[in-house]
């Protein structure tokens, strides 16, 4: 069973090399402009929280979450989500949805939000696409 466990500051500190590898791999695969140092700063200042993704109690990945304020209330934002299992984990992602909802309710969120360029998320009924982001890089 896939579950989420809140990581303590000591867990985050002791697992930082593992987390760096996951964040860097995620940024590389998705093209996100994201550095581990960005994640580390938000985790250390308490403006984001890491949750170990566990499969029957064994850590297989990490979710980094924070709260955003929408006009009608807070949203739980899934900022970074990765597993050591790669794309195969998406097939079991639904197992963690109840945990995400529990976390969202605990902070008083009215919704859960994430963004990803990976089209596989469209097959998941839990999340529905609400926008398409267009970008043009002017540096070259």
Count: domains in the chain: 1
Domain presence at residue 134: no
Whether residue 136 is contained in a domain is answered as no
Read off the pLDDT of residues 58-83 as tens digits, 9 standing for 90 and up: 999 999 999 999 999 999 999 998 88
Domain holding 105, by residue range, is: 2-123
Domain presence at residue 73: yes
Task: Report if residue 26 sits inside a domain.
Answer: yes
pLDDT tens readout for residues 13-61 = 999 999 999 999 999 988 889 999 999 999 999 999 999 999 888 999 9
Answer yes or no: is pLDDT of 88 > 70: no
Indicate whether 137 belongs to any domain: no
User: What is the reported pTM?
Assistant: 0.87
Phi and psi for 2 in degrees, rounded to 5? -85, 135
On whether residue 34 sits in a domain, the answer given is yes
Q: Looking at residue 11, which CATH number applies to its domain?
A: 3.40.630.30
SS (H, E, C) the chain: CEEEEECCHHHHHHCHHHHHHHHHHHHHHHCCCCCHHHHHHHHHCCCCEEEEEEECCEEEEEEEEEEEEECCEEEEEEEEEEECCHHHHHHHHHHHHHHHHHHHHHCCCCEEEECCCCHHHHHCCCCCCCCCCCCCCCCC
């Amino acid at each position: 069973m896939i579950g989420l466990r809140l990581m303590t500051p000591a867990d985050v500190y002791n697992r930082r090399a593992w987390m760096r590898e996951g964040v860097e791999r995620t940024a590389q695969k998705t093209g996100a402009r994201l550095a581990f140092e960005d994640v580390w700063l938000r985790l250390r200042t308490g403006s984001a929280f890491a949750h170990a993704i566990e499969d029957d109690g064994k850590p297989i990945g990490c979710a980094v979450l924070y709260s955003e304020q929408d006009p009608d209330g807070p949203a739980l934002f899934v900022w970074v989500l990765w597993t050591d299992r790669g794309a195969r984990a998406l097939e079991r992602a639904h197992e963690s949805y109840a945990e995400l909802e529990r976390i969202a309710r605990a902070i008083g969120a009215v919704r859960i939000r994430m963004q990803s360029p990976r089209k596989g998320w469209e097959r998941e009924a839990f999340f529905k696409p609400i926008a398409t982001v267009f970008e043009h890089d002017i540096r070259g």
